[in-house]
Structure 1
């Protein structure tokens, strides 16, 4: 698509892609220089509340909010990037076993596994609905502070995606501030950015989209993250998600300018040949019109992608109320949009 594509051409391309979404509810939201297009569709009958007005679970993409919270606390001088999480979580009884810093936790280089070793036994009975609900905050913290005899990787030496690490980071910031994580996020991130339709817990009936299993018909209960809130509890309307991405594009127009700019800088490489680049929180891929920064997320019954390209001042949100199936054409089509849209 030409960089000079008209608004009508952009809308047509979005509609063409949305038609590929084999999900009860699907949303595509696009912002170019602050001008938005939000389209909705799906295989199910439209809900009572318009799809574009509902809040959607974004799963792991919530980690970008957690990282922004950390960046703001560091910019304000309340925390430092190299503070050790164990010392902040247990200041009266410092533990020598865990040397992971806040930077290690936010960049997935802490050496922690994806989930604590004792997580799976309680999660298996509810694996397809709410696997995190039965693992509370105190267990997350205890699992982190437990003496480590043989850490698999020394902090800072290897990238390994970790919901455990993201959750620990949230509890560390909460312990340091003396506020629950969800209240801290609301005060420092959601309210300053005007995200009134973003939450960290299920809302009243009719406010949240309903997730579904891969059959597209069986409903899934609303997400409960237990002690892993910071790793995936955020849900938001498409417009709030676009507002969040527009803040990444134009930090100077927000109260969180310094923190937002910190999140855009590439800080590490990973993978074979170190071909994959990351910022503190965003996956960072090169493109013909400049790099695209993105983060995907999934819950038991919903899927999300948040992406933006600073050079073209554009952002894209894709949401569905069903996990993608093998061979589903929608994810590939959405990624093609990231390359093609002006």
Structure 2
């Protein structure tokens, strides 16, 4: 099996932040096996090894194979009052997978085309040039925008170790976009941009005349029955507590400020498996067309065009077929979501510790899915 390397250039999971017990005893009832014949013991051993290798206060590896779920939890910290598998975790940049699906669904319903100029959505009084930045450019990181606004770091510095994004509200995000002058024609170069996806959220909200959180709930969360997924924190009884790089120092709940569409989602492992299972089998889903749409490649780049992007996912090859994935991180938590249609496998991996690029958590989650 050829195992592709993890995605190398996701800033939200590198420098910009905005990258025990088990389910019903041992994951599956004693004596049963997964649908593909893999023994329970082998799956549990691999999951247990992945949880231990993550070396984080709280770790959850949740896997679905042909609709059959196994969840393994653990961590270096004492178990929290609420079972780890029932807590909501901060997804950071992995939130963009829901943002992409929302845009795809609005396009499928004919409510948007994706070609709307973002400037016209945000400020109809402004004139639109011959090559405007569109909603599709923003979602696919081809708008020519930087990863973050030029003044982000200066404004965030006083809260760098608590909540830097909270100091950059929606109005500043929009203003930073309207003042920016791209150095090249939109749609011609790829550059990962938290700013771009944040602007997308505000532009779509303006175009639809509806708040972002309401659009997400109406068009994605409720249709997919994701009742334990939301944008706002509700406290440690509901939401996992994140920790810094030392794995011991708690950090405040993440506040995305004006970057909601780029990284504000919180979800339980069970909801994430439901979300991923919908991508594996869109048939019968109220979002079937959009779910199929976000699996379609929209651009390729890199040596041999090996790096493939869809509207919502990074896509890498394996010997048997493509795997789709996205990582994310906040100041104190990390997430990895992925699925493989060829094996009917979905994986949601979550932990409550902030790592840097190349950490064992992301590598372990990627390798687990790629090696299925």
TM-score in same-fold range (> 0.5)? yes
Partner in structure 2 of residue 41 of structure 1: 74
Partner in structure 2 of residue 104 of structure 1: 137
Whole-angstrom CA distance in 1 between matches of 2:106 and 2:268: 26
1:91, distance to aligned residue in structure 2 (A): 1.8
The alignment partner of 1:133 has SS state of: helix
Whole-angstrom CA distance in 1 between matches of 2:173 and 2:96: 16
Whole-angstrom CA distance in 2 between matches of 1:80 and 1:329: 40
Given the alignment of the two structures, is residue 119 of structure 1 paired with residue 152 of structure 2, yes or no?
yes
Partner in structure 1 of residue 239 of structure 2: 208
Residue from 316, 327, 330 that aligns with 2:347: 316
Report if the CA contact (8 A) 2:306-2:316 is conserved.
no
Residue from 17, 27, 46 that aligns with 2:60: 27
> 1:204 and 1:114, CA in 2 relative to 1: closer, same or farther beyond 3 A?
same
Whole-angstrom CA distance in 2 between matches of 1:22 and 1:296: 18
Whole-angstrom CA distance in 2 between matches of 1:304 and 1:98: 36
1:10, distance to aligned residue in structure 2 (A): 1.4
Whole-angstrom CA distance in 2 between matches of 1:19 and 1:184: 38
Report if the CA contact (8 A) 1:97-1:147 is conserved.
no
Whole-angstrom CA distance in 1 between matches of 2:132 and 2:50: 46
TM-score, length-scaled by structure 1: 0.95
Whole-angstrom CA distance in 2 between matches of 1:183 and 1:56: 20
1:4, distance to aligned residue in structure 2 (A): 4.1
Report if the CA contact (8 A) 1:270-1:277 is conserved.
yes
Q: Which moved more, 1:94-103 or 1:237-246?
A: 94-103
For 1:88-124, what per-residue CA distance to the aligned partner results, in whole angstroms no more than 9, with x for missing partners? Answer: 1112333449711111111000001101112121112
1:1-342 aligned at under 5 Å gives the runs 4-96=37-129, 99-146=132-179, 148=181, 151-324=182-355, 328-341=359-372
The size of the alignment, in residue pairs, is: 339
1:326, distance to aligned residue in structure 2 (A): 6.9
Whole-angstrom CA distance in 1 between matches of 2:305 and 2:139: 19
Whole-angstrom CA distance in 2 between matches of 1:167 and 1:47: 32
For 1:238-292, what per-residue CA distance to the aligned partner results, in whole angstroms no more than 9, with x for missing partners? Answer: 0001111011111113110111110001111123443211111201000122111
Report if the CA contact (8 A) 1:111-1:152 is conserved.
yes
Whole-angstrom CA distance in 2 between matches of 1:318 and 1:16: 13
TM-score, length-scaled by structure 2: 0.87
Report if the CA contact (8 A) 1:212-1:218 is conserved.
yes
Q: Which moved more, 1:202-211 or 1:298-307?
A: 202-211
The alignment partner of 1:24 has SS state of: coil
The alignment partner of 1:18 has SS state of: helix
1:8, distance to aligned residue in structure 2 (A): 3.1
The alignment partner of 1:205 has SS state of: coil
Whole-angstrom CA distance in 2 between matches of 1:93 and 1:240: 41
Report if the CA contact (8 A) 1:114-1:163 is conserved.
yes
Q: Which moved more, 1:46-55 or 1:112-121?
A: 112-121
The alignment partner of 2:260 has SS state of: helix
5+ residue gaps in structure 1? none
Report if the CA contact (8 A) 2:313-2:326 is conserved.
yes
5+ residue gaps in structure 2? 2-33
Report if the CA contact (8 A) 2:336-2:362 is conserved.
no
The alignment partner of 1:280 has SS state of: coil
> 1:293 and 1:326, CA in 2 relative to 1: closer, same or farther beyond 3 A?
closer
For 1:131-165, what per-residue CA distance to the aligned partner results, in whole angstroms no more than 9, with x for missing partners? Answer: 110111111111111262xx223211111000000
1:129, distance to aligned residue in structure 2 (A): 2.4
